[in-house]
Amino acid sequence: MLENVSVISIDHIHEQVWLLKQDGYRFVTMTCCDEGEAHDVLYHFDKNYGLKHLRVKVPKNTALPSISGIYFAALLVENEMKDLLGVAVNGMLIDFQGHFILAEGAPKTPLNKSVPGIGIQIQEKTPAAAEGTVKS
* Global confidence as pTM: 0.79
Pairing of strands 26-34, 64-65: unpaired
The string of pLDDT tens digits covering residues 64-91 is 999 999 999 999 999 999 988 889 999 9
Is residue 113 a part of any domain in this protein?
Answer: no
| CATH code (residue 18) | 3.30.460.80
pLDDT at position 116 over 60:
no
pLDDT confidence of residue 97: 79
**Alpha-carbon Rg for the chain in angstroms:** 18
For every residue of the chain, which 3-state class applies, written as one string? CCCCEEECCHHHHHHHHHHHHHCCCEEEEEEEEECCCEEEEEEEEEECCEEEEEEEEEECCCCEECCCCCCCCHHHHHHHHHHHHCCCEECCCCCCCCCCCCCCCCCCCCCCCCCCCCCCCCCECCHHHHHCCCEC
Whether 25 is covered by a domain: the verdict is yes
Q: Is residue 81 part of a domain?
A: yes
pLDDT of residue 131: 57
A 10 A CB-CB count for 62 gives 14
Domain extent, residue 100, equals 5-104
C-alpha–C-alpha distance, residues 21 and 15, integer Å: 10
> Into how many domains does the chain fold?
1
Residue 23 lies in a domain: yes
Q: Is residue 9 part of a domain?
A: yes
User: Looking at residue 36, what is its pLDDT?
Assistant: 85
pLDDT digits (tens, 9 = 90+) for 32-49: 998 888 999 999 999 999
> Is the residue at 124 inside a domain?
no
Residue type at position 15: E
